[in-house]
Chains A and B, each alone.
Chain A
Amino acid sequence: MYDLFDTIISWLVLIFGVGAPLFIIFRAIGIKGFREITVYSKYNTFLYRTNPVIKIIMTITIMMVVTTSIWWIGAILTAAVLSLYITLENGKRKLYIGSLFIISTLVGSIWGYAPFVTFSTLNTVFPHFVPDVIWTWPSYFAVLGYQHTLTLQALEYSFQISFRSTAIMASALILVMTNTPTQILRTLHKFRVPDSIILSLMVAMRTVSFVLQYLDESIKIQMMRGLGSKHSKFLKPIFYFVAALQGLVPTIIHIMRGGKDTGISVDTRGFKATKKRSYVEENSIDHLDYYVLVVIVMLVIMDVTINIMGFGRVIPYN
């Protein structure tokens, strides 16, 4: 009796770990939501007026701070950067989607790490710890590579390393949401990236949202044709996925066909006819950017102080 109970709970936990992020991604955010947080929309607050170069420096700084300091700095920075979303156009919705995205990443990576952390890894993180066993997996779970027991420490460790990437993700998305592709690419031009590669990048940035949009349409059309309609509602996410896979090649062909026209129209407008590009609008650094720079410098100072105080990176990377 106990065995059956044990098995059922274990599978429920396993399904939660796999299913919760998927549920958030497909049901709560949806492909449309992804589009909203990866695409520029016109608005005018301080984040939109900040120079893209400064924003890239900001992201790099956040990365350096997160990777060299203790985990809760990463958590605080994630929350801080996410709260900036409220100043964007349609801010509440962007904050909502951004938070869901970060949460799904967190849940996903916690469950991606926790059951697999070995005792020896935990021992280097928490020296001489006494494992608090929360759950003992059935023995056949070893086939999945699961450790025999799930400890509180394993959860804690996974929770901590999950914050490594969230702040960087959140701040990189700000750059994409607040600057047009042209502005971002002009920045790259300053770093001496060749024009032809900039053209590729420009096309890429524009296309990301198209890919999401066309995939979404293709999935919806498959669903309208009745894919998976005879099965229970719980299997719907699986059919959603099947539809996405089926729509992949047609979407690629459709978008690549459009690419041919883009190439012709870029050529007829004299792409690379002259050596130098000219701009109508200049990207200049003004006093607002200096304020952001001050924040960046403060972040670095905080990082150094925190390291001196002994809150440096204590968790080993694998």
Chain B
Amino acid sequence: MGFNGIDGSLSQPGIIPWQYVTVYFALALIFAIYISRKNSTLSRFKTVDYVYTGISAAFMIVWNFFVGPFLDKFVPAGAASFIGFGGVGEFMILLILAGLVRKMGIGMLGWAVYDIMADVYSYGFGGEPLYLIYKMLCFGIIIDIWIGITRGMPFGVGSRKNIKASDENGVASKNSTSSFVSSKINMTKTMPVIAGIVMGIPWAIAGPLFFTGFFAPLLYGGIVDWQAIIFSMYASIPSFVLFGIIGSFMAARVSRVIG
């Protein structure tokens, strides 16, 4: 037993070398800061942003400890690697938070606050600060980069003009109804769909890849089985994309109502 329940074994067979992980984290952070500087989403949090973060963390606690585990009971184990309600719910609630705050760093802040809350309520601070780093830099940063790329309009809310469809045409034609003019797509309807897909895929990949491939062996000597990792990566993509789209629509709705 090492420090605070961390085994700290970096030589487990099959583990991703820690140098790669560190370099990836550094590059992701630099890219997130670069893109949000360029598109000016890098601004200070206001007090109300912290309040929103706290409220979202409360929802995630309720979801993850009281609702999610019991929803999971309905999922047969054969399908359990395809959908985990706990993780999907966290994703959706964070999307709603991102829709409300729309600044660089909200994904990471949301994860950080929720992680500490989860420790107070159930996990008891074991393995910290590794879980904090894992959640913030593997998942939170995805939302931050997306906010940066979309210039602070992650779900199309905040923009009034319709955009010309060029590269999003494929997605647009599937989801827009016939009433739309063919060369224009309705931003408020298609952006959530795009956001759900673009964020859902890396979100689904990051979990198995970084946790089973790096943090699990580092924390408690978990066994690294690359076949299992690759399978659960593919298996969880559909559910994360689906619930990402639903969550994005919820986010768009909530942020339109609250503003």
Interface residues, chain A, CB within 8 Å of chain B?
A: 17-18, 21-22, 25, 34, 38, 56, 59-60, 62-64, 67-68, 108, 112, 115-116, 143-146, 165, 168-169, 171-173, 175-176, 184, 188, 193, 196-197, 199-208, 210-212, 215, 244, 249, 252-253, 255-257, 259-260, 262-264, 266-267, 271-272, 317
Contacts and interface: CB of A to CB of B under 8 A. Distances in A.
A196 B50 contact: yes
B131 interface: no
B59 A203 contact: no
B96 interface: yes
A143 B80 CA distance: 12
A171 B126 CA distance: 13
Interface in B239-259: 250, 253-254, 257-258
Q: List 7 tightest A-B contacts by C-beta distance, closest first.
A: A203-B54, A263-B48, A145-B78, A207-B58, A145-B77, A144-B76, A59-B124
A252 B54 contact: no
Interface of B: 1, 4-5, 45-55, 57-59, 61-62, 66-67, 69-70, 72-74, 76-80, 96, 100, 109, 112-114, 116-117, 120-126, 220, 222, 250, 253-254, 257-258
B243 to A, nearest CB: 13
A138 B178 CA distance: 49
19 contacts: A22-B73, A25-B66, A60-B4, A108-B70, A145-B80, A168-B124, A197-B109, A203-B54, A204-B53, A204-B61, A207-B55, A207-B58, A252-B59, A252-B96, A256-B55, A256-B100, A260-B258, A267-B47, A317-B222
B76 A60 contact: no
Contacts, number: 173
A20 to B, nearest CB: 10
B254 A256 contact: yes
Contacts of A25: 66, 70
B73 A112 contact: yes
Contact of B121 (A146, A172, A207): A172
B121 A38 contact: yes
A256 B112 CA distance: 19
Nearest to B67: A244
Contacts of A116: 77
Contact of B51 (A59, A203, A252): A203
Given A175-B120, A207-B55, A257-B258, A64 B126 contact: yes
A266 B250 CA distance: 27
Contacts of A115: 77
Contacts of B76: 143-145
B254 A200 contact: no
A18 B76 CA distance: 10
A260 B49 CA distance: 9
Consensus secondary structure, chain A interface: helix
Given A64-B126, A196-B45, A200-B113, A249 B253 contact: yes
Contacts of A188: 116
A172 B120 contact: yes
Nearest to A52: B120
A208 B58 contact: yes
Nearest to A303: B1
Contacts of A144: 76-78
A109 to B, nearest CB: 9
Contacts of A204: 53-55, 57-58, 61, 113-114, 117
Contact of B124 (A60, A202, A203, A260): A60
B106 to A, nearest CB: 11
B62 A211 contact: yes
A212 B250 CA distance: 20
Nearest to B100: A256
A18 B74 contact: yes
Contact of B123 (A172, A203, A206): A172
Given A206-B58, A260-B258, 20 more contacts: A21-B73, A59-B125, A60-B125, A172-B122, A196-B50, A197-B116, A200-B57, A203-B54, A204-B117, A207-B54, A208-B121, A211-B62, A249-B250, A255-B59, A256-B254, A259-B48, A259-B52, A262-B48, A263-B51, A264-B48
B54 A200 contact: yes
Contact of B70 (A21, A172, A256): A21
Most chain A beta carbons < 10 A, residue from B59, B100, B125: B59
B236 to A, nearest CB: 16
A199 B55 contact: no
B254 A252 contact: yes
A200 B73 contact: no
A65 to B, nearest CB: 10
Contacts of A203: 50-51, 53-55, 58
Contacts of A272: 47
Nearest to A256: B258
A257 B79 CA distance: 37
Contacts of A210: 58
B5 A67 contact: yes
A201 B116 contact: yes
A79 B53 CA distance: 35
Nearest to B97: A256
Nearest to B127: A63
